[in-house]
Amino acid sequence: MEQIESQLIKEHLPNHLAIIMDGNGRWAKSHGYERVFGHKKGTESVIETVENVGKLGIQYLTLYAFSTENWNRPKREIDTLMNLLISSLKKELKTLQKNSIKLIAIGCLEQLPKKALRQLSEVIEQTKQNENLTLALALSYGAREEIVRATKAIALKVKNNIISIEDIDQSTINNHLYTQNLPDVDLLIRTSGELRISNFLLWQSAYAEFYFTDVLWPDFRKEHLVKALLDYQKRERRFGKISEQLI
């Protein structure tokens, strides 16, 4: 493990890493448990990954924890997920403080149960001065909903003569997204073997590098993270240019 970690080039880590944490249900099933146990097990991977990412010196980490589409799951599963969110926030506040991690949340947060929203707001408030890593939890998040919301907010400003149509550019859109304070995604990891984006950070991932692994989220350990980062470091990000222009 240490040997592969030492291959990482510190100056060439992604500034913003995003992860679609998928496969909790399948992990549980394959171990003979109910789906909800997979979510519980998955929280261990969350804590471990957050700490590892912070220690590596990455600045921004966004974790897809609950999508707008996930509201269509059975109520029992949704309740378990919300209760897990509340208990993890309570339990891990000290981990966030110890590692100087600032928590923020992106998504349609008003849809969350009041108790979850209260606990979330409390941890956000208590960690707002932390400077090591910014951890964005995507909760009740959907990129299409985010874009609709931004469009409405911009349209309202045009209507009220706060901005003119000619003023609208890419930064206007960016500044009206949930992620307005986050940089573009550099590396997007999805676990569990699914090869799709599932309505996550569509705008922000326009030039992200994608990394897919068959590892199920509850099995995701530091070695898998380092492997993804090493793979990222081998890529040439051309942003439309040609290789010779990059030097």
Interacting residue ranges for Mg ion, rule: CB under 5 A: 22
Q: Residue 86 CA to chain centroid, in angstroms? A: 18
**Is there a catalytic annotation at residue 15?**
no
24 CB-near residues (< 8 Å, 6+ apart)? 35, 38, 39, 41, 42, 216, 217, 218
* Distance of closest approach, residue 38 Cβ to ligand IPE, in angstroms: 6
Residue 25 in the binding site for ligand IPE (CB under 6 A): yes
Least Cβ distance, residue 151 to ligand IPE (angstroms): 23
Q: Which residues, 46 to 65, sit near ligand IPE by CB under 6 A?
A: 64-65
Binding of residue 18 to ligand IPE (CB under 6 A): no
Work out whether 196 is an interface residue with ligand IPE (CB under 6 A): yes
According to the binding rule CB under 6 A, does residue 70 interact with ligand IPE?
Answer: yes
As a three-state string, the secondary structure of 48-102 is HHHHHHHHHCCCEEEEEEEECHHHHCCHHHHHHHHHHHHHHHHHHHHHHHHCCEE
Q: Which is nearer to ligand IPE, 81 or 117 (CB)?
A: 81
Q: Which residues bind ligand IPE (CB under 6 A)?
A: 20-26, 64-67, 69-70, 81, 192, 194, 196, 198
Q: Which residues are catalytic?
A: 22, 70
